[in-house]
């Protein structure tokens, strides 16, 4: 029974939203950040990088306090406004490839996270959870929703369709050619219907934002413990999420690239590989796998297809059957000596939304020795691993839509 409620969002005004909205801070190059900070005084980047005002890098508690100050200044200057009544927000993103994503921005329960009603499929790093929890505690708001996915629901889909016949609260297109629209749902009957439909769902799944949701949960535990008058209705009991139906989720793969062959010659490496895979040299023709448990490999200017020998590799769990886990257990760890996928500097990851040629280029330019092309993880695989309480290897999924910061803000 998922507890997903409307809330009073803080939002940019209609005339400023296209200027405020920003991608995640890390996704910009240094030059891109400098350009936006210099030329756009309304960018949300000014809030998350408050040291720019003083031409100084600021970190830790001092930065958190300045983030809070910049945020309050945006509110004081009426760049941000807050809705008077709790709302659900229908949010539509149409990307440059004309793929359309429709979902609901809402407040989701930290207690549901604790009870595993909100299910996870990815490991988190404890240090990052704590750091971001302290950040949230100081700044007092969350500006980027966690991406959740739920079973397709006809009632919610119909409400979204009806609401989208009205004029959107705002509409803008980014320089990346993504178009964003947002509608408010204030109608009490529609609010009740959406909340009721979510309450009937036994589980929903984190698609993207495991660290943000984990940090929000830690914040909830802290504030609950330190509040003798805790009721369960305080804003800190919830965190902001963007919920989209499973059929609307887009999952891409991450290719793996490795800096060396762990002291092996090319021939020695291929012989060891042959023990676990049927190998076919595809020459210079780019090859991308099309079946489960098939991989592509790029080595020394040539592509190879790798087909797992299932008589050698045994699967005993949903995780064992996952492509990224198979590659790790059959090649990366035993042959190439990569044991720690999170911290080993010899491995890199390339977003599979880009063409397989991106992997080829990374090897051809000398940065890496060998690359492995993957199949995307399916929704069914992601759910099975989450349901079994297991965790995927890092960088198993590149999930869309990718959300902008500063469009809706949740205060606690």
Q: Where are the domains of the chain?
A: 4-250+401-411, 254-396
Can you give the pLDDT at residue 305? Answer: 98
Q: What is the mean pLDDT of residues 9-24?
A: 96
Lowest-confidence range among 56-60, 203-207, 264-268? Answer: 56-60
Q: 281 falls in which pLDDT band (50, 70, 90)?
A: very high
27, pLDDT greater than 90: no
Percentage of residues in the chain with pLDDT exceeding 70?
100
Secondary structure of the chain in HEC code, one letter for each residue? CCCEECECCEEECCCCHHHHCECCHHHCCHHHHHHHHHHCCCCCHHHHCHHHHHCCCCCHHHHHHHHHHHHHHHHHCCCEEECCCCEEEEEEEECCCCCEEEEEEEEEEHHHHHCCCEECCECCCHHHHHHHHHHHHHHCEECCCEEEEECCCHHHHHHHHHHCCCCCCEEEECCCCCEEEEEEECCHHHHHHHHHHHHCCCCEEEEECHHHHHHHHHHHHHHHHCCCCCCCCCHHHEEEEEEEEHHHCEEECEEEEECCCCCCCHHHHHHHHHCCEEEEEEECCCCCCCCCCEEEEEECCEEEEEEECCCCCCCCCCCCCCHHHHHHHHHHCCCCCCCCCCCCCCEEEEECCCCHHHHHHHHHCCCCCEEEECCCCCHHHHHHHHHCCCCECCCCCEEECCCCECCCEEEC
Contact 367, 352 (CB under 8 A): no
CA 7-169-72 angle, 5° bins: 55
- Write phi, then psi, for 281 (nearest 5 degrees): -75, 120
143, pLDDT greater than 80: yes
- The architecture of the domain spanning 254-396 is 2-Layer Sandwich (3.30)
d(CA 21, CA 51): 19
Can you give the pLDDT at residue 53? Answer: 87
Contact 209, 124 (CB under 8 A): no
Can you give the pLDDT at residue 57? Answer: 86
Can you give the pLDDT at residue 159? Answer: 98
Over the stretch 337-376, which tens digit does the pLDDT of each residue have?
Answer: 999 998 899 999 998 887 799 999 999 999 999 999 999 9
Lowest-confidence range among 4-8, 152-156, 206-210, 338-342? Answer: 338-342
Over the stretch 48-107, which tens digit does the pLDDT of each residue have?
Answer: 999 998 888 889 999 999 999 999 999 999 999 999 999 999 999 999 889 999 999 999
d(CA 163, CA 185): 7
Structure tokens of 118? 């909100």
CA 24-387-410 angle, 5° bins: 35
Q: 124 falls in which pLDDT band (50, 70, 90)?
A: confident
Average pLDDT, rounded, for the chain = 95
Can you give the pLDDT at residue 175? Answer: 87
Can you give the pLDDT at residue 354? Answer: 72
Q: What is the mean pLDDT of residues 300-314?
A: 94
d(CA 336, CA 311): 22
Q: What is the mean pLDDT of residues 146-152?
A: 98
Q: If you count them, how many residues does the chain have?
A: 412
Can you give the pLDDT at residue 55? Answer: 87
Q: What is the mean pLDDT of residues 235-252?
A: 97
d(CA 360, CA 302): 9
Q: 310 falls in which pLDDT band (50, 70, 90)?
A: confident
Structure tokens of 236? 């800190």
């Amino acid at each position: 029974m998922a507890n997903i409620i409307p809330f009073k969002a803080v939002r940019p005004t209609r005339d400023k939203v296209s200027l405020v909205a920003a991608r995640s801070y890390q996704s910009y190059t240094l030059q891109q950040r400098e350009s936006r900070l210099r030329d756009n005084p309304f960018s949300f980047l000014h809030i998350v990088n408050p040291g720019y005002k003083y031409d100084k890098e600021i970190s830790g508690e001092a930065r958190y306090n300045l983030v809070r100050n910049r945020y309050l200044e945006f509110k004081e200057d009426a760049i941000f406004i807050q809705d008077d009544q709790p709302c659900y927000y229908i949010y539509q993103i149409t990307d440059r490839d004309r793929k359309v994503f429709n979902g609901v921005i809402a407040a989701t329960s930290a207690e549901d996270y604790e009870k595993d009603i909100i299910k996870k499929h990815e490991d988190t790093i404890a240090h990052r959870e704590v750091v971001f929890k302290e950040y949230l505690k100081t700044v007092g708001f969350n500006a980027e929703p966690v991406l959740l996915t739920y079973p397709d629901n006809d009632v919610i889909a119909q409400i979204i369709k009806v609401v989208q016949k009205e004029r959107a609260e705002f509409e803008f297109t980014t320089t990346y050619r993504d178009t964003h629209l947002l509608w408010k749902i204030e109608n009490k009957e529609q609010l009740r219907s959406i909340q009721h439909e979510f309450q009937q769902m036994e589980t929903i799944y984190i698609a993207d934002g495991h660290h943000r949701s984990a940090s929000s949960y830690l914040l909830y535990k802290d504030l609950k413990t330190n509040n003798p008058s805790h009721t369960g209705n305080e804003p800190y009991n919830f965190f902001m999420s963007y919920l989209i139906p499973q059929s609307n989720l887009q999952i891409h793969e991450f290719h793996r690239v490795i800096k060396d062959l762990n002291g092996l010659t090319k021939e020695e490496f291929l012989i060891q590989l042959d023990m676990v895979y049927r190998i076919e040299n595809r020459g210079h023709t780019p090859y991308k796998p099309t079946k489960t448990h098939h991989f592509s490999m790029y080595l020394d200017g040539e592509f190879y297809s790798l087909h797992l020998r299932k008589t050698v590799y045994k699967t005993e769990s949903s995780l064992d059957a996952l492509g990224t886990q198979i590659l790790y257990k059959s090649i990366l760890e035993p042959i190439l000596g990569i044991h720690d996928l999170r911290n080993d500097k010899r491995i890199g990851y390339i977003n599979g939304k880009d063409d397989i040629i991106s992997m080829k280029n990374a090897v051809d330019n000398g940065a890496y020795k060998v690359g492995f092309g993957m199949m995307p993880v399916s929704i069914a695989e992601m759910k099975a691993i989450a349901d079994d309480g297991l965790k995927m290897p890092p960088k198993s999924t590149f999930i869309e839509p990718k959300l902008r910061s500063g469009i809706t803000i949740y205060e606690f």
